[in-house]
Chain A
């Protein structure tokens, strides 16, 4: 491909995946695992159990907030997940209010007392929203993002704004202009990114659930690195209003939780059409909460008949061997649950990475033009307009952001547009079609969420191409606009605790054309149902990092 040849080869990654000509299926590589025992306690829904405790008055919201603040004090100095924390009193006041309403027998929302962390590129009217950038240091939006508004309306308590790679541009959270966040499983490692703060906060139980954003894997990869559940909904399922745009056609607000149920409950709260986002879907949000009922009712083969496709290109050379074996074990678990598992080839898979970077960077070069120092944010004084622009942006934006703006500007320039942007759009169509074809044959597709487990802080800082290559597992899903769920499915050996490995489950998008179709309205619910059953039946399915293991029952 000419487009590929004009780019410097990002080491082996782009050529790593061969391009077979057709989609072929293989019988599953069936590795026998010991029969999963259901004796280890699976993760339960913190949201549901907390709600039960609150409503039955076994627990007060004030106590809940107090214990949260205690844990935060212990963990935050090591992790640095948050860019902004409200003062204790603000949270306690909200808790008091909730306790009073429960005492009065008033109706409380489904997220009442749920402690929610919010990625700092999602606008909150009562807290700063910087997007992890100096240029928006101390910026306070005059409005709540629609997702935040819905969380608040349903009773959720926002406990702070989480760290991220500046404007979502990065895969480690090291590109934050303010601080580096550590991985709760090993503080010498990155939490992933760009939603590293939100993932680490859930992992270390600094909150119950959190909001992140996913443009090319920014929810799923950190979920994998931090051993939590991460959900990237179908494009358009959640309003982007209030999310600082990185690449508008790929951006999605996503959810983190320590169980599929919690993640699904948060999604249910924020999903739905929003008249402030023209790209948000008018599809009704189906009620999929009933899927999270207790597991005791599960049959021996609860997923009988489900067709699972393991994307072959994601378990080939270049992917960490430990990751591959964990994913194969997960595939076996699916078989034990009654699924048929086959390998499926997506020939266009390796095209996703360069196409993604061209489109995302092109759009970002445009989306970040508004940070010019004129109306808000940090302005550098200058005698001339051009210097005002230049100096404000030079000082306010970080080097990763500048590099991406430059590359995106280049790709959109006259004479290059056809070779880059237009070409990448064509690739996007090919990818979308190939996923559609595969999802006609399979109910879900599975893959690792990242080619490796969490790596060391600083390890890829000076090798952006290596970091970009790490997005290979996730970017295609954004290009195709599909929903995907990442949940921890095992460990890679690393010292005492091991590092979690995330399994990515990709579902079909809802069909805009046929809103009444039963199959389509249940796509997202189906993904969550499968994830929930997988999680509840997985041996050693509890993923609590050592840093908080003592305090989590």
Chain B
């Protein structure tokens, strides 16, 4: 049993990760796995409690997300940032906090913040500023973090999310409290024996946007879908790579539980160390059930304001630190940086250059008549959506293109572990291929063969058809000749057919198709074949 559960968990990341491959034939499979994930949390007592959540208790979840911006240089100096580079190889007096060094704002940071602010439907602060958040830690070179305190660059927005069908579907709107700019800290590297720690300041000064949501989420799935949508947005806008494993997208969630009907929030617990959407969803569900259990046992006083760590190995949250009152960060305005004044022209220019965002894309695809499954698959990955749109732009039919992408192309990518950008097939050729089938130039079967060649080797549909002489045979006279040949060569089967074994029609059709090297128009072939087989009886 435990093995199955483990397998389920391993499979789970694929479901939520936008680049994952969802195949139609998997639909049944993973709706069952989903059920398993929701109910079969490690101990059986908890699974029972979980079932009770909707009835008696309600969870309230808010999320703080840190998005690393993919600017060429850091927020306040000229150092580039590349994940995984040699420790302290990308540092300078400014990001090391040397005496006398001063921060100078990278204007790209403001541009990216405005982009995301607009995409999150926020009100922008046309006159914002930077503040210093002060605390001591070895990864914080200056002893303060440059951040934004009372005037965030964007506030009061929302994010629209489509919950996947397998999680119940539906459209949700989650509020955004604020978006502010800050700089990242370095990293501490602890030695094995614990004698000392080392500091890597490569990441110090990398620009971040902190996005604080309203406490609008009610379960793990909603929370992870919110985060996934945020990741999508970041990627669509090109402001960051949103990679959770590299820490380019980091989510801290606040979870509290209250009896249904109670207005006051319960005591909130912060959960950290969520390295994937799947662990986020599971960590929240675990935390909810933990809190509900305490509630239902009359021990809600044991829910204390604290930071808990998600342990991937044991699939549970553990106490990291209890909060003893609120930390005093002694914020005050950063005197080294002038205030940030946005002009309407500047904002308008950015607004006008915003790409089509995931939500708009999904609504557009929906209007084309695509099912939600297709809509989500296509729109979830920016590159797939671009491929899809480019194919449509060449005149191909939306539903047909969606089918090709979601079936054979997706399968190919999955088997070869490629992304849509890696395959050799271009949107132009996919459109040409679909057109060729629709126009009767080639058969669907030949089309598939050509597709795989295009996927693996590239080239053009026309060239392949010409080179391999694959044009469909739609000349009745030619097909009739082939039918005659097959009938003449198989007298025994003809006799059987005419003796009532009409199932043999398939055999004849196959033989004719073989003679035509698969090029015969199937409709014509069957029509002529039937005529011939039946006429002489």
Contact = CB atoms under 8 A, between A and B. Distances in A.
Contacts of A520: none
A243 B100 contact: yes
A369 B102 contact: no
B104 A362 contact: no
B98 interface: yes
Interface stretch (B111-119, B138-146, B240-248, B260-268): B138-146
7 contacts: A123-B99, A247-B335, A277-B104, A279-B338, A370-B97, A376-B98, A385-B138
Residues of B in contact with A, size category: 20 to 34
B134 interface: yes
* Of listed A278, A365, A385, A417, residue having the most chain B CB within 10 A: A278
A145 B99 CA distance: 10
Nearest to B93: A143
Nearest to A143: B93
Contacts of B136: 369, 372, 389
Given A240-B100, A370-B97, 14 more contacts: A122-B100, A143-B100, A243-B100, A245-B100, A248-B335, A279-B102, A365-B330, A366-B144, A374-B199, A375-B199, A376-B98, A409-B330, A414-B326, A417-B332
Interface string B356-371: 0000000000000000
B332 A370 contact: no
A129 B103 CA distance: 20
A370 B142 contact: yes
B contact patch SS: loop
A376 B144 CA distance: 17
A136 B99 CA distance: 9
Interface string A272-289: 000111110000000000
A141 B102 contact: no
A165 to B, nearest CB: 16
B143 A244 contact: no
Interface in B68-102: 93, 96-102
How would you classify the secondary structure of chain A's contact residues: helix, strand, loop or mixed? loop
B336 interface: yes
> 8 closest pairs, A vs B, by CB?
A369-B143, A248-B335, A249-B335, A412-B330, A242-B100, A244-B99, A370-B97, A123-B100
A150 to B, nearest CB: 15
Contact of B328 (A131, A248, A375, A413): A413
Interface string A225-238: 00000000000000
A139 interface: yes
Interface residues of A, number: 44
A241 interface: yes
Contacts of B331: 412
A128 to B, nearest CB: 12
B336 A129 contact: no
Interface string B101-136: 111110000000000000000000000000010101
B5 interface: no
Given A248-B335, A366-B332, A414-B328, A277 B138 contact: no
Interface in B307-356: 326, 328, 330-332, 335-338
Contacts of A245: 99-100, 102, 336
A141 B102 CA distance: 14
A385 B337 CA distance: 31
A421 B103 CA distance: 23
B330 A248 contact: no
Interface string A138-164: 010111010000000000000000000
